[in-house]
Every structure is written in structure tokens, then in C-alpha cells.
Amino acid sequence: MNLAFVVHPFKPSSLRAVAQVGRLTAGTRHSVRLWAPALDALCGRQDYAGEADGWARSDDVRDADAVVAMGGDGTLLQAVRLIQGADLPLLGINLGSLGFLTDTPEDLLDTALGHLLDGSYRLDRRMLLEARCETPGGVPIRVVGLNDVVVHGPRARVLEVDVRIGGASLGRTLADGVIVATPSGSTAYSLSAGGPVVSPALAALVFTPISPHTLSQRPLVVSADEEIEIVLQRTASERAELTVDGQPVVDMNVGDRLVVGRAPRDLALVVTRERTFYDTLCTKLGWGHRGRSGG
């Protein structure tokens, strides 16, 4: 198997994890490549001691049979952008702390990689978003993301948008911004903004206003078959920023139109252990834990 690795180069344990993968695959028929920018950054660390020596460079991870992201959720989201909609299995190894998406901890790296290499794993299909930003007379910009699409004003300035869902008007929203999230992204920015937790087994979109100026305006869960259309009507500085999975995409000007819907292809997340979404919620959010009583 040909594996491409996307590694967070500055996590304290990144070099250790790379060296571990090298030992596991040495002398096997499997080939490992490291995404070129991550390889350069790792080799440039002051504490580098040859852990990535012998690794091949990968300029395009889509040439691999499977992709492994080692870092945190941000690293996995970066791998999703690099895959760009290709139907490749993606395994996330958590080298950090929280990790909703990269749920396999570093101490299970050997086991998870072994399952990936021998094919004893299942795929968790996760819905992806496709955002299309249209400017009057311009060429539409299309971006795919796993977690969310966000429109917000610069420096937390208020903006006004016209919103339509499934062709029906919701009127105008006055807020610090708006979020359109997938079920996977419902536990990210949307949750912090007061949105609901949605099981990734559902095909849905979550529309969450950020600090809306009308208190009756609440988050809304809609079918993934519907598109959400957002037209920028007014901002304090006549522009807003569009981000996808936390990464800036383009500045939006008054009159620009954003259409968000389900992407044509889902993401194939590799699952190598029996752990449910609800197990992750309880672990990461501390649900159901009781303090010790005295006596």
C-alpha cells in the first residue's frame, strides 16, 4: 500500500510519531511518503535527529492509496483540503488533546496503522460541504469543506445578510456573522455559537447566526438536500470574510452571493476501533461524569 502522511510539524510528538511509522513500515512492501511542506518543516526543527530520513516527498497526496493525518483536528482538515474531494480513505491520529475528528490517540498508532495496512477497518462516511461564492460579473469560487462555512465581518463588526433556504426566504439576519455547518462541524464553531450537536449519521445542514441582534433568531437544522443561499446586504466596512474550515477563502462585498450545499462526494474516515460518536461526546465534553463525594 502507498500511504501519504500529512503531519503537524510542530507538535512536540510529531518527530516521535514519524520515527515510529518508519520503524513499522521498514522492510515491508508498503511505501510511505510525507507531504512536502511538512517534511521540510520537520527537517528544519532544531531537535530533528533524522527521524524522517529516507521518507519520500509527496507533492500531491491524491496519488496515494490512503492518507494519514497526524496532529489534531486542524491537521485532518488540512488533509481534507489536500484530498480535494478524491475518494481516499483518511485516518486521523491525534497528537494533541481534544480531537473530535482525530479520535485515535498516539498510543494506538501501531494498532491503527496495522489495521489500515491489512484492511481490517471500516469507513465512516462523513458529509462534506460545497460552498460557491458568486460575485456580479465574476467567476464563481468553489470550495469543499468538512466542518463549516462562515461569513463574518472584519474585527467582529456586524453584518446584514439575506438568507434563503431551499428557495424560501428567511428574511434578513443582522449578526456578527453566520455559520453553515455539517453534522461533523456541529461540535466546532457552531457549538460555541449556541448551535446544536448533530449526529454525523444524519444528512443535514446547521445554520447558526453568530450573536444575532434579534434574540428570537435561533439555529436551524435543515435537510442536506436543501441549499442555503446567503447574500451580503450590508457591513460596517462594506465587506466580509468567507472562511471554510477556519481557512480564509475570499473577501465578500455587498451584493455577493454564497450558496452552500452538500458536496457530491462524502469523506471516507477510517475507523480502526469500536468507538461511537456518543463515546467521543462523553469523553471530549465531559458528559455524564460525576464528582466524587466524600465519606
Which pLDDT tens digits describe the chain residue by residue (295 residues)? 999 999 999 999 999 999 999 999 988 999 999 999 999 999 999 999 999 998 999 999 999 999 999 999 999 999 999 998 789 999 999 997 767 888 788 999 999 999 999 999 999 999 999 999 998 877 889 999 999 999 998 766 789 999 999 999 999 999 999 999 999 999 999 999 999 999 999 999 999 999 998 888 899 999 999 999 999 998 766 689 999 999 999 999 999 999 999 999 999 999 887 777 888 788 777 777 644 444 4
C-alpha closest to that of 219 among 45, 96, 211: 211
35 within 8 A of 4, measured Cβ to Cβ:
yes
Element (H, E) at 111: helix 109-118
Give the number of residues written for the chain.
295
Going along the chain, which residue ranges are E strands?
2-7, 31-35, 56-58, 66-71, 89-94, 104-105, 122-126, 129-134, 141-145, 148-152, 159-165, 168-175, 177-181, 204-210, 220-223, 228-235, 239-244, 247-253, 257-262, 267-271
Using CA atoms, how far apart are residues 148 and 143, in angstroms rounded to an integer? 11
Write 97-100 long-range contacts (CB < 8 A, 24+): 97/72, 98/72, 98/73, 98/284, 99/72, 99/73, 99/284, 100/73, 100/184, 100/187, 100/188, 100/280, 100/284
88 within 8 A of 67, measured Cβ to Cβ:
yes
Given 47, 73, 251, 266, which residue is catalytic? 73
- At position 282, the amino acid (one-letter code) is C
C-alpha closest to that of 123 among 285, 265, 281, 282: 265
Site of grid cell 435561533: 218
Confidence at residue 156, expressed as pLDDT on a 0 to 100 scale: 66
First to last CA, the chain: 57
Query: Taking the CB of residue 293, how many other CB atoms lie within 10 A of it?
Result: 5
- At position 73, the amino acid (one-letter code) is D
11 within 8 A of 96, measured Cβ to Cβ:
yes
Concerning whether 73 is annotated as a catalytic residue, the answer is yes
Confidence at residue 293, expressed as pLDDT on a 0 to 100 scale: 44
Confidence at residue 236, expressed as pLDDT on a 0 to 100 scale: 67
239 within 8 A of 122, measured Cβ to Cβ:
no
190 within 8 A of 206, measured Cβ to Cβ:
yes
72 within 8 A of 100, measured Cβ to Cβ:
no
184 within 8 A of 197, measured Cβ to Cβ:
no
DSSP label of 119: T
Write 81-88 long-range contacts (CB < 8 A, 24+): 81/144, 81/145, 81/245, 81/247, 82/6, 82/35, 83/267, 84/144, 85/128, 85/144, 85/263, 85/264, 85/265, 86/62, 87/265, 87/268, 88/61, 88/62, 88/64, 88/268
* CA 228 to chain centroid: 19
